[in-house]
Amino acid sequence: MSNEAIHVPTMADFAARGETPEILFWVGCAGSFDDRAKKITKAIVRILSHVGIKFAVLGVEESCSGDPAKRAGNEFLFQMQAMNNITVLNNYSIKKIVTGCPHCFNTLKNEYPELGGQYEVVHHTQLVQELIDTGKLRVKGGAFLGKKITFHDPCYLGRANDEYEAPRSVIQNLDVELAEMKRSKQNGLCCGAGGAQMFKEAEKGDKEVNVERTAEALELKPDIIATGCPFCMTMMTDGVKHFNKEEKTKVIDVAELIAAAIDL
Amino acid sequence: MEYIINIIFIVLLISGLLLFTKNVVQIRRNILLGKPVNRTDNQTQRWKTMFRVAMGQSKMVTRPLPGILHLFVYIGFVVINIEVIEIIIDGVCGTHRVFSVLGSLYTFLIATFEILAALVFLGCVIFFTRRNVVKIKRFLSNDLNGWPRSDANYILVAEIALMAAFLFMNAADFRLQQVHFSHYDLGLSSSAFPISSLLASLYGDASIPFLVMAERSTWWFHILGILVFMNYLPYSKHFHVILAFPNVFYSNLKVKGEFTNLAVVTNEVKAMLDPTFVPPVVEGLTRFGAKDVQDLSWKQLMDAYSCTECGRCTSACPANITGKKLSPRKIMMDTRDRLEEVGSNMTKNGGKFIDDGKSLFGDYISGEEIWACTSCNACVQECPVNIDPLSIIIDLRRFQVMEQSAAPTELNMMMTNMENNGAPWQFAQSDRLNWVNEN
């Protein structure tokens, strides 16, 4: 992927010019701070810039969506986060949001409306699919022609929001062999990070959830395990390392696949 | 004296129905101990879901073998119960096969019942084998130790016995008809008895009095068996045959990722952020999240009574698969057990619950269980009757975090970070855009 400087306008920049962007890119905490996830963030920015959508980020005005607090049972902290975010979003009259993380996506889309934040929220795989379907983004196999890819469903995109097709349909544009794991779509197995597990050690058991899941993915001997979530990314990457397969199998976000395929 | 037998029948029938009603009323009272939640909106969607998931068994057949066998037992249960209407009329009036006046329709009905009875018999024998001989993880689980495992076997044995009695009753009847004996001679075609005509040879060259006795005793066994079985339901996981339908009807229609926003918290947070906001006065003590069954909603309590302990939820749970203590099935079983305990406490104390120093969290469900959940919704997805174990886990977590400050240490650190710097990690909010200029 190119290392060319990217241009990332903020909402404050737009507001200063008296303009509004078409869409807000909600980067999320992982996308802002996690080294691996930052690459996904940049891939999303490159795609948005490439198609010429007027987009902006909140930058330093963004704060955690509150998802991990809510799943951990801290409704106070969640609602504090949510209402503060809603104030910022509403001040900028945000209409449409794309997220780089299914957890932010789920929370903003489903749990903010009742608290006063009503936006059209899409996950980045849904936006990419829409861009491809409307002809704004043309994707060819290129770098990935003939590769074997399996998609790991993030729970908060799949079961939580019934979106199984967008990421798959995007991947299929790459002229690759899309292989399904035994447990996929509605029956997909969690990577082990959800419900705030990302931030704690697992309880006592026989093995880690990510090891169980990665083993299942590696049974297919894929070239690539595709994901759509920064937490799944961490868990699956660690899982592949656990089996010493990082030479053979890469873990790549759907946005990165697309950005690489169109040589951004 | 000739009506004595009919009187005995009527007394037994009415006692059976009264006892059953009493137990159902008690279960209803227990369910209504739960907190209010609105599940009567969107009726059209609710009926559709009920027809698809409960009546249509759409989530059962995702596992084809048990799904199809269960379909036999389910259809058998519903259809063969039409026969019970005739049995009751015959029992009350002293008639024999009162519906036989329907002629060829009756022949068709009895033949259908027989085929279904044979399928139910087969299904239950295979289910019994799956539970006791084949090593299937979800049936071997410690969740089922003791009563639950026996309960499952009693149900299967009872159903096998009831179906056998029904078929052997028809077989004896068939033989008596063939010899044109007394009122048994209704001139029914042998095609009414596709299965029992095959079984009839097992009676060998039994005498007519023996055949009459066999027919009468299997008839009584069948109807008394049904009355006893019906009264067993309220004590058993088998109560799902009734609650599956309302439970699906009242199930959550929203996407699974959407968790409830606690309204009491919303008011407090609004008051914190906006000093002019006056929160509405809430009557009585409010508790954040759930410690005991009374803190859950009536729907969560109905879920507990609707659970038939099949364990599909647990077999799909990532925590359980990897050897953690959490089992969503156990969450539901514990909720029901505790609710039953609270219920009998109330019954004993004239309708009032006297604190017994116990609670759902702590005495039944442990922290180790609820903190192992990844909130992935696999259990909710799996449940054939739309039970939501995840919502109970989250309510228990809410109580632990907001009332007890008892979250695992690492989660407390995560939440402190979020409060201080708006991210679950210790990165400053002012650094949120640094990624733009990094390589």
| Neighbour tally for B258: CB within 10 Å | 17
Which residues fall within 8 angstroms of residue B125, CB to CB, at 6 or more apart?
B160
Closest-CA residue in chain A for B402? A74
Q: For residue A10, give the amino acid letter.
A: T
| Neighbour tally for B95: CB within 10 Å | 13
Residue A253 backbone dihedrals phi, psi, to 5 degrees: -75, 150
SS3 label, residue B95: coil
pLDDT at B1: 56
Do B346 and B228 fall within a single domain? Answer: no
What's the mean pLDDT in B314-334? Answer: 98
Which range marks the domain in which residue B72 is found?
A: 4-31+63-249
Residue A91, pLDDT > 90, answer yes
Contact at CB, A38 and B438, closer than 8 angstroms: yes
| Within-domain flag for B53 | no
Residue A76, pLDDT > 80, answer yes
Total structural domains within chain B: 2
Contact at CB, B265 and A75, closer than 8 angstroms: yes
| Within-domain flag for B255 | no
Whole-number Å distance between alpha carbons of A47 and B364 = 51
| Within-domain flag for B47 | no
Residue A2, pLDDT > 60, answer no
Do B168 and B298 fall within a single domain? Answer: no
Contact at CB, B408 and A206, closer than 8 angstroms: no
Cβ under 8 Å to B: A residues 78-117: 79-81, 83-84, 87, 106, 110-111, 114-115
Give the ipTM.
0.96
Closest-CA residue in chain B for A183? B316
- Show residues of chain B in contact with A77, CB under 8 Å: 415, 418-419
Smallest Cα–Cα separation from B115: which of B84, B157, B72?
B72
Do B282 and B204 fall within a single domain? Answer: no
Do B274 and B245 fall within a single domain? Answer: no
Separation in Å, CA of B78 to nearest CA in chain A: 30
Residue B323, pLDDT > 90, answer yes
- Show residues of chain A in contact with B402, CB under 8 Å: 73-76
Do B203 and B91 fall within a single domain? Answer: yes
Contact at CB, B255 and A110, closer than 8 angstroms: yes
A124 with A255: CB under 8 angstroms?
yes
- Listed in sequence order, the DSSP H helices in A134-208 are 165-172
| Within-domain flag for B39 | no
| Within-domain flag for B435 | no
Do B178 and B315 fall within a single domain? Answer: no
The string of DSSP letters for B115-144 reads HHHHHHHHHHHHHHHHHHTS--HHHHSGGG
CB of A28 within 8 Å of any CB in chain B? no
Least confident of A71-85, A95-109, B269-283: B269-283
What's the mean pLDDT in B192-203? Answer: 91
Smallest Cα–Cα separation from B241: which of B252, B250, B229, B251?
B229
Whole-number Å distance between alpha carbons of B210 and B217 = 10
pLDDT at B178: 87
Mind listing the domains of chain A with CATH numbers?
11-129 (3.40.50.1860), 139-261 (3.40.50)
Q: How far apart are the first and last CA of chain A?
A: 6
Across-strand partners of A226?
A: A151, A252
Smallest Cα–Cα separation from A236: which of A151, A113, A163?
A151
A176 with A144: CB under 8 angstroms?
yes
Mean pLDDT of chain B: 94
Taking each helix axis from N to C terminus, what angle separates B208-232 and B147-178, rounded to the nearest 10 degrees? 150
SS3 label, residue A179: strand
Dihedral angle of Cα A109, A112, A114, A119, to the nearest 10 degrees: -60
- Show residues of chain A in contact with B371, CB under 8 Å: 200, 203
| Rama region for B391: left / alpha / beta (φ>0; ψ in -120 to 50; rest) | alpha
Chain centroid, CA B182 distance in Å: 45
Contact at CB, A212 and B322, closer than 8 angstroms: yes
The CATH number for B370's domain is: 1.10.1060
Residue A38, pLDDT > 90, answer yes
Closest-CA residue in chain A for B378? A187
Whole-number Å distance between alpha carbons of B92 and B58 = 39
Smallest Cα–Cα separation from B26: which of B386, B348, B280?
B348
Burial A11-33 (b: 16+ CB within 10 A, else e): beebeeeeeebebbbbbbbbbbb
Which residues fall within 8 angstroms of residue B338, CB to CB, at 6 or more apart?
B292, B293, B358, B359, B360, B363, B364
Do B245 and B334 fall within a single domain? Answer: no
Looking only at the bridges linking them, the beta strands covering A177-179 and A23-26 are unpaired
What's the mean pLDDT in B290-314? Answer: 97
Size of interface A-B (CB pairs under 8 A): 219
What's the mean pLDDT in B244-251? Answer: 98
What tokens were used for B299?
């729907």
Dihedral angle of Cα A167, A169, A173, A176, to the nearest 10 degrees: 80
| Within-domain flag for B190 | yes
| Within-domain flag for B432 | no
Smallest Cα–Cα separation from B329: which of B350, B346, B308?
B308
B81 with B74: CB under 8 angstroms?
no
| Within-domain flag for B234 | yes
What tokens were used for B129?
């084998």
Do B312 and B407 fall within a single domain? Answer: yes
Do B239 and B149 fall within a single domain? Answer: yes
What's the mean pLDDT in B45-57? Answer: 97
Smallest Cα–Cα separation from A71: which of B373, B295, B410, B300?
B373
Do B299 and B386 fall within a single domain? Answer: yes
- For residue B52, what is the DSSP state? I
Strands (E), B244-353: none
Q: What angle do CA B317, B323, B326 make, to 5 degrees?
A: 55
What tokens were used for B370?
């609820």
Using DSSP, how many helices (H) and how many strands (E) does chain A show? 11, 8
What's the mean pLDDT in B66-80? Answer: 94
Do B298 and B345 fall within a single domain? Answer: yes
Do B189 and B303 fall within a single domain? Answer: no
pLDDT at B83: 87
pLDDT at B280: 80
B246 with B305: CB under 8 angstroms?
no
What's the mean pLDDT in B249-268? Answer: 95
- Nearest Cβ partner of B381 from A186, A196, A197? A186
| Rama region for A135: left / alpha / beta (φ>0; ψ in -120 to 50; rest) | left
B267 with A83: CB under 8 angstroms?
no
Contact at CB, A202 and B321, closer than 8 angstroms: no
Least confident of B224-238, B267-281, B317-331, B356-370: B267-281
Looking only at the bridges linking them, the beta strands covering A148-151 and A177-179 are parallel
pLDDT at B54: 96
Closest-CA residue in chain B for A8? B436
pTM of the model: 0.95
CA separation (Å) from B17 to A259, B20, B324?
Answer: 69, 5, 44
B24 with B235: CB under 8 angstroms?
no
Whole-number Å distance between alpha carbons of B16 and B194 = 32
The DSSP H or E segment spanning A24 is strand A23-26
Q: Which of B189, B217, B249 is the last residue of a domain?
A: B249
**Could you give the count of Cα atoms lying within 13 Å of B254 in the half-sphere of its Cβ?**
13
Whole-number Å distance between alpha carbons of B49 and B383 = 14
Contact at CB, A203 and B436, closer than 8 angstroms: no
- Show residues of chain A in contact with B287, CB under 8 Å: none
